[in-house]
Amino acid sequence: MSTYRAFEATGVHNLHLVERELTEPAPGQVRLRVEACGVCHTDVLAVEGLRNDPSRPVVPGHEVVGVVDAVGAGVTAWQPGDRAGVGFLNGQCGECEPCRRGDFVNCRNQEQTGTTIDGGYAEVVYARASGLVRVPEGISAIDAAPLLCAGLTSFIALQQGATRAGALVAVQGIGGLGHLALQYARSLGYRVAAVARGKEKEPYARQLGAHEYIDSSSTDPGAALTALGGASVIVATASSGASMNPLIRGLAPNGRLVVVGAAPDPLSIATPDLIFGTRSLVGSLTGSSIENEDNLAFSLAHGIRPSVEVMPFTRAPEAYERMLSGDARFRVVLDTTA
């Protein structure tokens, strides 16, 4: 093959299929033949023109799983035929100050897959070797893809701060992130509370691992969590700042509200709710490539799987619209092998 197909985003809400020339990977990079790519809400950054230069074509998609096809000069840890994935972070530079201090997530020279550099709505993707994740046998490309972003984000958020086994941990929202966070929290040995709107979601929340269910449409979730003893960690996944506001009062002393759901509206927190109880509010982005390997190994060992709707690669625009609608349960994945 001398070319490959990809869906480019240009302007605003414009995805179109193109043929691209196949090139050799640059030094320090690898080339992947894509098998699956998750469709994540963060893809709006590329498709809706929410980047520095929307006129520049970019291929969306940052939950990419495939097989190494070629390696660039200087790459020694990867060989053609290796199963690999790449998430939102396309590989740290290893030279900036955050990297030198071991903070690879906040590397100052790191590309964002599918936003600042081409991603996985394509048959081929290029990535820095430092951003690659080894995908173990025993997990399919379809299941692994959402774990590289939604899974890792949830997994890392639950480990923000020391939390003892058996402590109460809450997950707000049962969507693309939340349905995975509930599984991780249960497998990590916590007492798990799910917070969501409506009683109809309770059976599924309990199936995913929740010991307790709080209907935030009829109950103050902060008060309900306090009645349960207070949460050591609350992972807020809903894309609504207003829905997160009451949660801070449901934290136990020294508890932490970890925000992973990007919301258009701000949070409004009363300072006494932070001061009395020594509570904290933090954001959490994702994890490094090696932490993503830990995430996949943990998921495989504990049977953690995303709930996915699978569409062929050629229907990428439709898959994106399905994700935007909010009707998908819960992740949409493009199958490039179909």
In the chain, the percentage of residues whose pLDDT exceeds 90 is 98
Q: Which CATH number is 182's domain given?
A: 3.40.50.720
**Domain with 211 in it:** 161-283
- HEC string of 100-168 equals HCCCHHHCCCCCEECCCECCCCECEEEEEHHHEEECCCCCCHHHHHHHHHHHHHHHHHCCCCCCCCCCE
124-128 vs 29-39, strand pairing mode: antiparallel
Yes or no: say if 113 and 87 are a contact pair by the CB < 8 Å rule: yes
R_g of the chain, CA atoms, integer Å: 20
Is residue 296 located within the same domain as residue 224? Answer: no
Q: How many domains does the chain have?
A: 2
Q: For the chain, which residues score pLDDT lower than 70?
A: none
Residue 11 lies in a domain: yes
Is residue 185 located within the same domain as residue 200? Answer: yes
User: Given this model, what pLDDT does residue 1 score?
Assistant: 75
Question: pLDDT, tens digit, for every residue of 202-230?
Answer: 999 999 999 999 999 999 999 999 999 99
Is residue 324 located within the same domain as residue 220? Answer: no
Question: pLDDT, tens digit, for every residue of 99-158?
Answer: 999 999 999 999 999 999 999 999 999 999 999 999 999 999 999 999 999 999 999 999
Question: What's 89's DSSP letter?
Answer: B
Residue 319 lies in a domain: yes
> Considering only CA atoms, which of 16, 18, 9 is closest in space to residue 44?
9
Could you tell me if residue 71 is left (phi over 0), alpha (psi between -120 and 50 degrees) or otherwise beta? beta
Residue 293 lies in a domain: yes
User: Given this model, what pLDDT does residue 309 score?
Assistant: 98
Question: Which tokens is 158 given?
Answer: 């639950």
Q: Which CATH number is 68's domain given?
A: 3.90.180.10
Is residue 58 located within the same domain as residue 91? Answer: yes
Q: Strand ranges (DSSP E) for 166-227?
A: 168-172, 191-196, 212-215
What is the CA angle 173-179-185, rounded to 5? 95
